[in-house]
A = this chain, B = another copy of it.
Amino acid sequence: MSTIGDVAKHAGVSRSTVSYALSGKRAISEETRARIERAIAELGFTPNAGARALKTAETMVLGLMLEFHADEFAPAMLQYVLPVSQAARELGYDILMVTDPDGPKAVHRIADSDMVDGIVLLDVTAADPRLPSLRAVRKPAALIGLPSDTAGLDIVDLDFGEAARMLVDHLQALGHREIVLISPPHHVVERGGSYVWRFRDGAIERAARYGLQIHAYYGESRQPAIRRSVEAILDAHPAATGLIVHNDATVAALPTILRDRGVGVPDDLSVVSLYSRDFGEEFSLPFTAVESAADDLGRHAVAQLVRRITRSPDAGPPVVRFVPPVISDRGSTRHRRR
């Protein structure tokens, strides 16, 4: 590769002149600029990113940290990756994707070595072990997912409590009096996935307010356990007419399971859920659902992060944003019979 020195020599100017021609930070005569541009084209020059980063202290790279847990459902997390990547590129940033199983160490690795200008954290849990590291390093960050201590952090997440209330409202309005809720697997709660109980508590409280009977369970994330658990739950509550599924793996398997049982939707059972539009299309899911808006969350996190990076002093106080849920009616519910 050619360097800025080669270009300077080729154009008969100094290195600094080439640099200014590139950045436009000082005036350069039309004639010189043309010579430099020709030299750049002829030599195929592209500035060395490391050298530039060294001096400017800006890498134009964002870290994207995500962990894959063996017993989890990968497609759900991957939904966020693409929007984040695209949003970043539109703002001039590349994405360093880190899937290191040791999250805290990885945070230090990419931040302390100044490989990135900022960090997006995916699937943040209540007492996320990455947060102490994140606070220790001096890099802006944006989280997708709600930790219990939000101090000083930019956070965006779906308003899961409100989502649950909307779905309960929906069933209540149709006259259902006994409903079942399937949450994510219990080990997600143990790991501190706060969206589980935010949704769960929201649903239970709302149901209580209406005097609805609600049976709340934790589901599974893998076959064949999924089928077994759904069967057992449905068997236990033959009178329930509404089902709320807050569990990606379960909802993906649900059409098959219900068909096998001969349960018609919505005639025998009204089903509502929570997933993103893309997810629903990929798995051909026909359920009325709250859109989880992975796109929105990803784009918002990146935008907020870049704002923090570019005007670090006056980007304002940290913001915790709960994206309001939107319900999308796909006809999988109907008025309760009788």
Residues on A lying within 8 angstroms of B by beta carbon are 1, 44, 46-51, 53-54, 59, 61, 64, 68, 73-75, 78, 81-82, 85-86, 89, 94-100, 108-110, 112-115, 138, 222-223, 226-227, 249, 252-253, 255-256, 259-260, 278, 281-284
Q: Give A9 Cβ to nearest chain B Cβ, in Å.
A: 19
Question: Considering the chains assembled together, what is the distance between the CA atoms of A336 and B222 in angstroms?
Answer: 32
Given contacts A73-B282, A113-B47, A113-B48, contact A94 B86 (CB under 8 A): no
Chain B residues in 8 Å Cβ range of A109: 46
A46 to B108, Cβ gap below 8 A? yes
Chain B residues in 8 Å Cβ range of A223: 281, 284
Question: Considering the chains assembled together, what is the distance between the CA atoms of A47 and B78 in angstroms?
Answer: 31
Q: Give A45 Cβ to nearest chain B Cβ, in Å.
A: 8
B97 to A85, Cβ gap below 8 A? yes
B44 to A48, Cβ gap below 8 A? no
Number of identical monomers bound together in the oligomeric complex: 2
15 residue pairs A–B, Cβ–Cβ below 8 Å: A1-B138, A46-B108, A48-B113, A48-B114, A50-B53, A64-B97, A73-B282, A78-B78, A89-B99, A95-B96, A95-B99, A252-B284, A255-B256, A256-B284, A259-B259
Q: Which residue of B lies closest to A61 (CB)?
A: B96
Identify which of A82, A94, A99, A112 gathers the most chain B CB atoms within 10 Å of its CB.
A94
A283 to B252, Cβ gap below 8 A? yes
